Amino acid sequence: MKNRLKVSIVGGSGYAGGELLRILLNHPKVSIQQVTSQRFVNQHVGVAHPNLRKQTGLLFSSLSELRRCDLLFVGLPNKKSAEKMPQFMKLAPKIIDLGCDFRLKNPSDYKKWYQWEHPEPNLLKKFVYGIAELHREKLKEVDFVACGGCEATCSILALYPLVKNSLIKDNQVIIDAKLGSSAAGNRPTLASHHPERSGCVRSYKPTGHRHTAEVVQELKVDEVHISATAIEMVRGVLITAQVFLLKNIQEKDIWQVYHQEYGREPFIRIIKSKTGVFRYPEPKILAGTNFCDIGFEKDHLSNRLVVIAAIDNLTKGTAGQAVQAMNIMVGWEETLGLKFPGLHPI
C-alpha cells in the first residue's frame, strides 16, 4: 500500500457509494482510508454492499470521525454537500463531489431548478464539471470536481459533437430519457415499492427535469426539452434525442464528425450497424462499465436526426466518471481501474 493515494468516501452506503467502492478496491494506485455512513456506523461495508463481501475489511465510519486524506469523494444528498464543503476542504486538498451541489455555475440556477438558495455560492467557481471528454485539460489543473448527473452526462456526450460543429438548431433539442430504478437511490418510496414499480413504464418528469440546466450550461445551447421515464431496469440510462440539422448532410458525414471528436476517447463507442440485435446503444450490456455508447439515424424524409446514447448511470454516470476524473487530476493513465468491458449475455 506504500505510496498509494489515500482516499476517503463521504456517504458510501448508497448505490453510487457502493459502485465507487467496487471500482476503488480494484484500483492499482489507491488506498481507501475511510467510508462514512450515518446509518451503518461500525458495520462492515458488505452490510450495504453484499457484492463486496470478502473483498475488504473496511467498516463504515461516522462523519465526525473523518480524518485527513489525499482526495475525498463526496456522495451526500442535495444541498448537504454544499453545507459541509468548507469543512471537507480542510480535510483534503482534492475533492470530487458526486452530487448536484457544485455542477451549476450560476447560483440563481439552484433556486430555479432545485428550489433552494446555494449555501456556498462563492465556491461554485472552484469546481470543474467532471466530464473528461469536455474538460480534460481543466481536470489536469483543478483540485475540485463536480461530477455530472447521469442523464445529463449521457445527453451531453451524445450531442456535443453536433453542437461543437454547429450542425443542429440549438433551440430545438428534444430528449427522451429512460432510466433504471437505481437512479432514484436506495431509499425506498411508494414509487419504488415492487408492486408499484414492477412492469411500469412511468413518465415521472415530462417537463422541468433538473438536468436540463446542466445540458444547457455545458452545450451552450438556447433550449433543451427533456422528458424522463422510469422503466423496469435497475441500471442504465438510454436517451433518444430529436434534433434538426441546419443543412442536409449525409449519415457518413455525421459519422465522420463523431469520429473526429471521439475517435481517441477511451470510453466513447460509436455504435452504427445495419444488422444485429445490438445495432443501437443498449444500457443492458453496459452494466458496470465506464463506456458511453452513441448511435444515430437520419430521417431520410427530413433533416431530423435521431441520436441514441446509453450509459450505466452508476458508473459512467457517477462513480466511474469520478474515478476517471481522479486519474486525470493526479496524472495517471485515464483508464486505470475502469477497464471492465461488461458482460454478455446478462
Question: Known catalytic residues?
Answer: 150
Please state the separation of Cα 283 from the chain's center in Å.
14
Quote the CA–CA distance of 143 and 237 in Å, as a whole number: 29
Give the three-state DSSP class for 224: strand
d(CA 218, CA 131): 10
Residues in the chain: 346
Q: Count Cβ atoms within 10 A of the Cβ of residue 52 and give its class: 0-12 exposed, 13-18 middle, 19 or more buried.
A: middle
Quick check: 83 and 11 in contact, CB under 8 A?
no
Residue 77 is given by DSSP the state P
Contact criterion met (CB below 8 Å) for 33 and 6: yes
- Rounded Cα–Cα distance for residues 346 and 286 (Å): 10
Taking the C-alpha atoms of residue 164 and residue 272, their distance in angstroms, rounded to an integer, is 21
Task: Please provide the DSSP assignment of 86-153 as one string.
Answer: HHHHTT-SEEEE-SSTTT-SSHHHHHHHHSS--S-GGGGGGEEE--HHHHHHHHTT-SEEEPPPHHHH
Write the CB contacts of 73 (distance below 8 Å, at least 6 apart in sequence): 7, 8, 9, 10, 20, 95, 96, 98, 322
* Burial bucket for residue 332 (CB in 10 Å: 0-12, 13-18, 19+): middle
Geometric angle at alpha carbon 148, from 212 and 293, rounded to 5°? 90
